[in-house]
Amino acid sequence: MTYLNNKRYYTLDSFYKEKFGMKIAKISLNANFTCPNRDGTKGIGGCIYCSSLKSGDFAGNKEKDIVLQFEDIKKIMLRKWPDAKFIGYFQAGTNTYASIPELKKVFEPILKQKDVVGLNIATRPDAISDECLEYLSDLNKRTYLTVELGLQTIHDKTSELINRCHTLQEFKDMVLKLRERDINVVVHIINGLPYETEEMMLETVKYLNKLDIQGIKIHMLHILKNTKLEKMYQEKPFHVLTKDEYIDIVVKELELLRPNIVIHRITGDPKVSDLIEPTWLIKKFVVLNDIDKELKKRNTYQGKSLEIKSAHD
């Protein structure tokens, strides 16, 4: 099976071109929200791999007004894609972890910007109140809305280790609540979390494949300077996946995913100046190309394992 762009998995670019008929560029924004596992509500310090920028290393400058952030990045995008339209991506921090008036203050101005066709809102499954769900439902009627939920792993022991501070049940419940309102859900997972085996990583994907999700982001764990993870790694080094190991796992994960689940991301994208390990992540396009080569070499594609299972049932 091949998708647009001659890929063997369903890329976000392919999905956007099918849906909108043109190039869609995501503009990463920083509304300077915190997280419940950072401010003491659920925990302190955030996830152990998270930088001080709260996973917004490539988002806009939080010191600037949200519209100015948008305009700055839009200018850069238009140089590359003059005819593109845009999605405002609220990336850094937990972007539903605020009152509705505060949320409206940042979401609504972006919706009013020229050529904006949607919003992507990154958040946690335990940080969407019932009131917020109703607001998201309203947004979903007015624009193309996607809610991105951080999960990272289904395994409780790992989740505790990385200081997620929410349960798998909370995650599942929130997916159901969002889907009841016809809101698109994208889930973030991380390969290579400390002490997880390949089998554990594949179990996470198998679990997600049974849920009504529309997309997935597959990250490679990266150890950044000045994080709790760096301290853990320096004190008691754990195995960091090699590039070949990562590619092998990703290919197996793709085979397990339904063909209609959009692959929003398939590798990490760390800030090079802060990266400690793995250094092979710096060459992002090499990793992407090597995943394509491995899929072709194995003559496999997204959903293949499901086809084989179905044939045997």
Determine the pLDDT at residue 61. 76
Cα separation of 147 and 266, whole Å?
18
Q: Phi and psi at residue 234, in whole multiples of 5°?
A: -70, -40
Q: Work out the angle at residue 253's Cα, subtended by the Cα atoms of residues 202 and 19, and round it to the nearest 5 degrees.
A: 135
- Of 52, 31, 4, give the one whose Cα is nearest residue 97: 31
Residue 55 CA from chain centroid, whole number? 10
Residue 237 CA from chain centroid, whole number? 26
Cα separation of 53 and 233, whole Å?
20
Sequence-separated contacts (24+) of 302-305 with Cβ below 8 Å: 302/1, 302/8, 302/9, 302/10, 302/254, 302/255, 302/257, 302/259, 302/261, 302/263, 303/1, 303/254, 303/255, 303/257, 303/258, 303/259, 304/1, 304/255, 305/252, 305/255, 305/256
Determine the pLDDT at residue 56. 44
Cα separation of 109 and 119, whole Å?
11
Name 308's Cβ contacts closer than 8 Å, sequence gap at least 6: none
Q: Work out the angle at residue 125's Cα, subtended by the Cα atoms of residues 120 and 131, and round it to the nearest 5 degrees.
A: 80
- Domain parsing of the chain, residue ranges: 4-307
Element (H, E) at 295: helix 284-297
Determine the pLDDT at residue 269. 81
Determine the pLDDT at residue 299. 96
Cα separation of 10 and 258, whole Å?
10
Burial 97-109 (b: 16+ CB within 10 A, else e): bbeeeebeebbee
Determine the pLDDT at residue 120. 98
Determine the pLDDT at residue 52. 64
Residue 177, token pair as written in the block: 């609540």
Determine the pLDDT at residue 25. 97
On whether the CB atoms of residues 17 and 23 are closer than 8 A, the answer is: yes
Determine the pLDDT at residue 54. 46
On whether the CB atoms of residues 255 and 304 are closer than 8 A, the answer is: yes
Determine the pLDDT at residue 268. 82
Residue 29, token pair as written in the block: 């924004």
Determine the pLDDT at residue 59. 55
Q: What is the pLDDT of residues 197-241, one digit of tens each?
A: 999 999 999 999 999 999 999 999 999 999 999 999 999 999 999
Instruction: For domain 4-307, say whether CATH 3.20.20.70 is its number.
Output: yes
Cα separation of 162 and 205, whole Å?
18
Q: Which residues of the chain have pLDDT under 50?
A: 54, 56
